[in-house]
Each structure stands twice: as structure tokens, then as C-alpha cells.
Amino acid sequence: MNPLDVLRDSLYFFQRNLGQIAQLCLPLVILEALLQQGVNSALGPDTFPGYSVVVGLLVYPLYTGALILFLDARTRGESPRTRDLLAMALTLWPRFALLTAVSTLLILLGLSLYFLPGLWLMVVLAFAEYLLVLKGMAPLAAISESFRLSRGHFLRILVCILAVMTPLWLLKGASEAAYSEPLNPLLSLAIDSAYSFLQLFTSVVLFRLFMLISEQPDKR
């Protein structure tokens, strides 16, 4: 399970299904960016960052849940309709939002403790969303099982996450440096939406890893 093979296979899938992924997720990604922009405009750019997290909890579980369901369906050769995927994602929203809230708080707490604990939590929680959506687990059970599944695969997961996120972090930093504040609202919306959409590639990579690791014999 070479990380380069995982990244290559995931990129191939993402490119082949880009149109369907965009149709499924991009409208909600843009809605999320619009809501974030509205919150910043109403409360000011220096407002409490928790408001941004709340906006994410409203929309992120919908498009991420729909994407995970789409990935699972495509691996089985199925082509579900967009509205069916979104309807299923909507039924998962309460549990997914709770999982996202708990995971976000844990990672932010870890990042505040000299960064490395946050990075460790980011890795060991990587499969929780897939376990909740695909296995029907409760949020805390999904977190516990993600810890177990990631055991013995930490470096592999970390390499895959960093290989995707590092270029995106650099791209975001470059865009912020290139365009001085205050940004044109439409330009800001385009940048934020593009950045969030490209982050969905991380979900594709982690789904591929999740499937490969889940297929291995249980060593407990």
C-alpha cells in the first residue's frame, strides 16, 4: 500500500469523476463560502472564530457525506442521482455534524498544544467520517474505531494527508499574499470556494486508504 499508488489512483478517480463531484458538491461549497462571507461582513473580520466553525457544521457534513456516499457507490459500479445522494446525506446530518464538532474541537485543542498533538489527532481521526457514513456507527464509536484502524498505518496516512494539503496550504498562502485586503467579494468567494473544493481531493485519498485498510484481516 504505497502512498504514491494511493495518491495516483485517487487522482485518476478524481479527474474522471470531476464533473459529477462538482455537480454534487460545488453548489454547497459555494453556499458555505457565501455564509462565511456573510458572517464576516456582519460581525467583522476579527469576530470570534467559533462562528466560522458553526457555519462549517451547517454545510460541511452535507457535501462531505454526499461525496462519501458517491465514492462508495462508484466503487460498486453504481451511478446514483445527485438528489438521492443529497437526501441520504441530509438524514446523516445530525450525527455527522456532531462528529465534525467533536473532531474539530479535539484537533484544535491538539494544535494548541505545540501543533504535533493536533497533527496526530488529524491522522487517527481520518477514518471516522467514513465509518459513520458507510458503517452506520455513532460518532463516538466511529472515533474509537478510527483510532483502531489507523494503528500501524500512521505514517502512510500522514504522508497522504500532507501530500495533498501542503500544496493547498501554500496555494492559499500565495493567494492571500497576492491579493491585499479588503478583497473584492466575488474574488474572495471564488478563492474560498476553489480552496474548499480542492480540499475534497483529501476525502477521495482517505476513502481509498480506508477501503484498503478495511480489507485487511483484523489483527485484534
**For residue range 154-187, what is the model confidence (pLDDT) as tens digits?**
999 999 999 999 999 999 888 878 876 667 888 8
- CA–CA separation, 14 vs 84, rounded Å? 20
pLDDT of residue 10: 97
Q: Which residue has the cell 485519498?
A: 205
Measured from the Cβ of residue 146, the count of other Cβ atoms closer than 10 Å reads 24
**Statement: residue 198 has pLDDT above 80:** yes
Does residue 220 have a pLDDT over 50?
A: no
Closest CA to 29 of 201, 193, 204: 193
CA angle 120, 118, 44 (to 5 degrees): 155
State the pLDDT confidence band at 71, using cuts at 50, 70 and 90.
very high
Confidence (pLDDT) at 215: 83
Q: Is residue 17 predicted with pLDDT exceeding 70?
A: yes
- Digit-coded pLDDT (tens) for 103-113: 999 988 888 87
* pLDDT > 70 fraction of the chain, expressed in percent and rounded: 93
What CA–CA distance (Å, rounded) separates 195 from 1? 28
Q: Is the pLDDT of residue 90 over 50?
A: yes
The answer on pLDDT for 131 being more than 90 is: yes
For 111-120, write each residue's pLDDT tens digit. Answer: 887 778 889 9
**In terms of pLDDT, which residue wins out, 147 or 53?**
147
